Amino acid sequence: MDNVAGKFIMITGAARGIGLGLARTAAEKGANLILVDRDEEALETAKRACQEKTDDVKSVVMDITNVQEMRNSVDQVMMDTERIDVLINNAGIMQTKHFFEIEEKDWDRVLSVNLKGLFFLSQAVGKHMITRRQGSIIHVSSIASRFPRPLAMHYGASKAAVLSLTKSMAEFFGEYGVRVNAVCPGPMETEMLQAIGRDRASLFGGSAEKAILDYVGPIPLKRVGQPRDVAEAALFLASDHAAYITGQALNVCGGVQMV
């Protein structure tokens, strides 16, 4: 039996992309799910898909950048479930934009979702984990945290900051038996990758399809990753199999970065 079976797992950005892959995979492994997204319609579709695999699936429409709304939602979840064993901070946005064209609103939006929301949700859920002296928090960062991103500097900065938080939170939570780790996906077959292709085509010309091929060309495994690739790595870190692992960031990138 999988080590996440029976655990209550909260996943943000669960309506599509990597988040939906996380939700589907966790459902197959017998986890109890708390799916979070601000897109109510897409979230309900994701919920129905997961209910085909596991019985206990809750959906929470939440804007993680609205801190008070988010805290109220977490309190309600705790009243309903009494515990959250695993928090997977997956919600994130990406924007391809020239350095001199990034505006204040762009910076604020990317940092608000990718960093602020992640921090304050971890704070809200983490206090309950501390009480129980157990739990696992997984941040979905990005391979962009490891490399220069001249056409997405605000995105790269946000994801690098996520790794800093991972280390600091792991140190803080360690004495309470709560582990904090991260996964760093490379290019994945998601709507976000399609948006990157369109943005790069707009900047450099040519088709979005060619832009994506150029973008993923350096991958040694010569394929784009799938959301399930990230899900399996994240759920391993969330499981009891990883009981002595904390403060780590696992690349899931097809070998774009090697040890």
Quickly state the pLDDT bin for 211 (edges 50, 70, 90).
confident
| Average pLDDT of the residues in 207-213 | 79
At residue 199, what is the residue type? D
pLDDT in tens, 240-250: 999 999 999 99
Quickly state the pLDDT bin for 214 (edges 50, 70, 90).
confident
pLDDT in tens, 100-110: 999 999 999 99
Does the pTM surpass 0.95? The reply is: no
Instruction: Tell me the CATH class for 8-186+226-251.
Output: alpha beta
Assess whether pLDDT exceeds 50 at residue 64.
yes
Give the other-Cβ count within 10 Å of 255's Cβ.
12
Assess whether pLDDT exceeds 60 at residue 1.
no
pLDDT for 209: 81
Assess whether pLDDT exceeds 90 at residue 68.
yes
- CA-angle at 190, arms to 189 and 195, nearest 5°: 115
Question: Of residues 155, 176, 215, 244, which has the active-site annotation?
Answer: 155
**Is 215 in the active site?**
no
Q: Domains of the chain: which residue ranges?
A: 8-186+226-251, 188-224
pLDDT for 229: 97
pLDDT for 2: 67
